[in-house]
Structure 1
Amino acid sequence: MNKYFFYIVTLISILCFVSCQRDDDEPIKAARPISRLYVSTSNYQANTTSPALYNVFVVTPADSNSFAIDPLSNHTSSALGGSAIHFSPYAQSIFQSSVNSPAYRDTSIYVMNVSDKGVISNGNVIGNRRFNNVKGLWYYVHNTPGNTTNITNNYLLVTNLGADTVNLFIVDQPKSRRGFTPPRYELRLNYRPWSIQMNGDDLLLSRTEDNGGIVVYKNLPAALKVDTLLDIEPTYQLTVSGANNIRGLSYSSSKDILALTDYKVNSGAPEPNVGDGRILIFENFSQYTSSGTIVPTRVITGANTLLQQPLDVALDTREGEDDALFIYVADAGPVSRNVLRFKLSDTGNVEPDEVLEILNRQTPQSISLDSRGANRL
């Protein structure tokens, strides 16, 4: 009798432990160090008699000397051509938008599950006709201080350059949404954003157009109340004088470094030349707390860099030697069309540390880096 009582008590204890775990409160602890770079490509095979094209590629380890795609990790999502991509260890998922080309209408955001070993599988699909030109994605978890429940607020933040309105959409509990999904919140913008990142509870958006820069909203959760339509103004805006087409944004709070990508198109030219792309690096970024013009600490640009039309950037600033830390860039330029890796210490007209050509010369549109723990090989 005592033996059966022990089994019952043990079972109840296990169930209580599982039920009290926080939903999305922290990422799964990696058994081994992780350095994975996820790449979204825009090419799409409409001919159903031909094999479908991969549109998610994985470079692992991304910080090793063999900077190459893992052929066992290539994946085909249901997107009709991939655009923005974002991996979250909190959600254990990849989120990917579609390029939504005129030929292949696709206004969905695709959720892919990622196992602790990096195996990708298709999950739910979030659809809305208003998600018609998604440029940035970010999964955000907000746990109210003092919260003792097993429920946290988690959101998918989406920047969208619509034909009529430009919006920041916020979808709540995105992993449980399927089919048509209205955003829980939306913020209408009077500027053109691109990339998006949360730094703690602060929202950072890259702003494109001439003399673009960064737009900062401090303490975003304070604005998420009852009304769906948000009425908030930027806390401050930082302008980069001379910027032309700012796209990618990546900020490392541990190193206090922000990186932006930019490129110019010469007058009368149909596309930028190789060397017209730039990586703008701002050290001690937290010093900027009010609106104004900021100047890059360093700029990586020039023909040797192969930068033509850089659309996205990711900083890897884990612990290690300064010259062993990396900047990853997705370049969609028709000549370059590569993923480039630079050292964090680089400046000027330098050659990339590594160059990755995607299978079948597919065009990279966006990247997302999962880096947890040192993994130098």
Structure 2
Amino acid sequence: MRSAEGVNRFTVKPRGGIAEAAEIKLTFEDNRLASLVFGQYDQNLAHLERRLGVVANANGNNVILKGTPDNTEQARVVLERLYARVQLNEALSPGDVDGVIQETAMQGVLFPAVAEAGSSSFEEIGTRRRRVRARNAAQHSYLRLLKRQELVFAEGPAGTGKTWLAVGYAVQLLEQGVVEKLILSRPAVEAGERLGFLPGDMKEKVDPYLRPIYDALYDFMEARHVERGMQTGMIEIAPLAFMRGRTLTNAIVLLDEAQNTTTMQMKMFLTRLGEGSRMIITGDPSQIDLPPGQKSGLVEAVRILDGVEGIGRVTFKEGDVVRHDLVRRIVGAYEADFRGETPQRTP
């Protein structure tokens, strides 16, 4: 079903070196849903303008798009898909706008008929609490690997969704009954895994290092289900040192911040994999906190296991950051400085 009542197009042919211009008017059926698509103070439209180089003027349930024919047509497809999402009661953010832009761009190049039909090619995961669709090609590849491989390495900068999507996928498998247990772990490298000087019992000592995993878990599960799962042992959150000597069967196991593991710790962790289990290992090789001269277990494992059957690897770049748009620019500036380049200025 089409998401707009009417689509009017107007194209001005180029003359005397002036670029061809196009105008598309979209009219949506529901004013309330249209306002959700446009965003608070039309922030989603502003984001669309910056990303596609078009002008988008909204008035009630109407929006007029102006720009080059290709860009205005892509903007039309993006807005119609966003409208279809809000019809399904999905919340929208500028990050979702980015995701649909990348999705339509990829489909337009590879599968133009699919793009016009409005179907989604990006992978998605779903739990009882929420459904999530990949926002870019890297996340799409990541979710495909998670569904196909028993062991997946995900490398890249903060804000690319490595850990968050891994937790969501793990919760999905748990709720579907594919696995019986969910184990989430991080190395407590800042304290050298010698936590005795910290106040409190063991849980209170390691909680600060595991807090990001807790946050992701509560995004995908109701709080009462998380607490019940932890009480019954169906969900386990523990520092890496607690994995030694175990064999993990029928479980999904996530190791976060893996760049801070040593080579021996990583080998120990990888060999915990038992029958019916899957592993996801995430980390950022540019943020290694190990002592100088100490090799990262993540870097070594990726090198040693390259090409081994059943192991997948995805590498996220600075352009794949899906947090606040300012985070993307901050990461880009640091990467440019590291390479000795002048950061690209954005309006």
TM norm structure 2: 0.30
Higher helix share: 2
Larger Rg: 2
Higher strand share: 1
